[in-house]
Amino acid sequence: YFLAGLNLFGIIANLGILISVLRLGFKSGNLTNRGIVTGFPYNIVRHPDYSMQIFYIILTTIPLYIIPEINAYGKFMITVTTLAWIYIYYLRAITEERHLIKDPEYQEYVLKVKSRFIPNIF
């Protein structure tokens, strides 16, 4: 049941990624500001695509901890690698916001949607 639950959450994460990317449409792809998207799911968090990708990375890493053939060093390296990927997505979000914050429309959006990744938390 545990792995089935992880699979279900993985499907949910992939759907979240898909919705986020489709919602951006042609406005994504590089650091040029092609307009602000404020509808779902961007009305919940400012970076839903990155949030769901981080969630997916964590979900796909969890089963590796229960494989008995992976020793403590291997699990440590899995943890370090996972944290590195999470940090990379965090840095991508910060970099995007540094470019977008110059736009008055994005400044208003930041005041309305305060959370970058996790609603009402972070």
**Which tokens belong to 19?**
């919705």
**Which tokens belong to 109?**
């959006």
Q: Is the peptide bond before 104 cis (omega within 30 degrees of 0)?
A: no
pLDDT for 41 = 93
For 48-88, write each residue's pLDDT tens digit.
999 999 999 999 999 999 888 999 999 999 999 999 999 99
Please report which helix (H) or strand (E) contains residue 8, including its range. helix 2-24
pLDDT for 23 = 86
> Has residue 25 got a pLDDT over 90?
no
The DSSP annotation for 73-99 comes to HHHHHHHHHHHHHHHHHHHHHHHHHHH
H-only helix segments in 25-116? 48-61, 72-100, 104-112
Alpha carbon dihedral 101, 38, 92, 121, in 10-degree steps, equals 100
pLDDT (average), residues 99-106: 90
For 32-55, write each residue's pLDDT tens digit.
666 788 899 999 999 999 999 999
